[in-house]
Structure 1
Amino acid sequence: MKREMKFRGLPTCKEKDELDYINFDRDGNFAVGFYEDGYIIGKVADANDEYIYPEFWVAVDRNTVSLYTGLKDKNGREIYENDVLQCTSYTYGNGETGKTSLLVKYDEMSAGFIAGPYMLGKLMDIRKCEVIGNIFENPELLEGKQ
């Protein structure tokens, strides 16, 4: 299976007018595209033997750059590293449902993305999860859970 390689990061520029002028691919407040040395870069708009010109480039905070997992939540929203997922879990016996919030991280040991103790897409049913935020804009979603 081929996974789409893309990243997202929060722009360092916070001026709304300037950000609107740049016209970059977005996921909420994040710029989305390729990542290179502190910039999220759009697809190639023009190129020849002397230059390559991308559709856009946006300086981003390196600490907020996150890799796309290749998966989507139950609502079709793309899941990135550092997203917070709210997942429905079932209690054995009485069949009651509960919800738990999990942070998405890359795990080098398994060479894959995990949410809490679960491997995304393999040991966890992603169809029962939805992205409810991320650690950069919504750190309160994980308070007391780390």
Structure 2
Amino acid sequence: MSREIKFRAWLKEDKRMVNVETMDFTDKSMQYLEKSEIINAHFLRRVSFDDVELMQFTGVNDKNGKEIYENDLISCNKYKNIVVFFENGCFKIKYPKSDTTNTICTLDTFLEKYKCKISGNIYENKNLLEENN
């Protein structure tokens, strides 16, 4: 069994999300495509790992076919804006089991039980995180 390994990145200074085209672990940098309006073309822009937050593709899609990445927020009828995170070699979520306890399970297990869609991510949609508190 294989899955596609790819990343996206949150550009800290520009405050926007980009798809990672290449990564160089020797100089600790990544490249993404940037569109130039002036010449109507795309070019690769290199940035340091220090200037981005990298997020890995989980290998699964939401109910609408959209790729789910680490740090995405997913929602279903019963649970809203649950953060996807990576821990101990797998992608997981933590959701409220009751008013006083939370449950952690793998993303795959949760998606087998609930049909979820992406509602945002922790960088572009901080307001959705606040709604859960």
**Is the pair's TM-score, using the shorter chain for normalization, greater than 0.5?**
yes
Gaps of 5+ in 1: 15-27, 43-54, 90-98
Structure 1 or 2: more strand by fraction = 2
RMSD between superposed Cα atoms in Å: 2.8
Q: How does 1:1-146 map to 2 (within 5 A)?
A: 1-11=1-11, 14=14, 29-36=17-24, 37-40=28-31, 56-59=44-47, 62-89=51-78, 99-108=79-88, 111-116=89-94, 117-125=104-112, 128-143=115-130, 145=132
Query: CA offset at residue 66 of structure 1?
Result: 0.5
Query: CA offset at residue 140 of structure 1?
Result: 1.4
Between the aligned residues of both structures, percent identity stands at 31
Query: CA offset at residue 76 of structure 1?
Result: 0.6
Cα 1:75/1:124, change in 2 over 3 Å: closer
Cα 1:128/1:63, change in 2 over 3 Å: same
Letter of the aligned partner of 2:17 in structure 1?
Answer: N
TM-score (structure 2 length as normaliser): 0.66
Gaps of 5+ in 2: 34-42, 95-103
The total of aligned residue pairs comes to: 110
- Equivalent residues of 2:12, 2:53 under 8 A apart: no
TM-score (structure 1 length as normaliser): 0.61
> Distance in 1 between the 2:55 and 2:93 partners?
14
> For each residue in 1:34-79, what CA deviation from the matched residue of structure 2 results, as whole angstroms up to 9, or x when unmatched?
433231358xxxxxxxxxxxx8344266442101101100011110
Letter of the aligned partner of 1:115 in structure 2?
Answer: I
Letter of the aligned partner of 1:80 in structure 2?
Answer: Y
> Distance in 1 between the 2:56 and 2:9 partners?
9
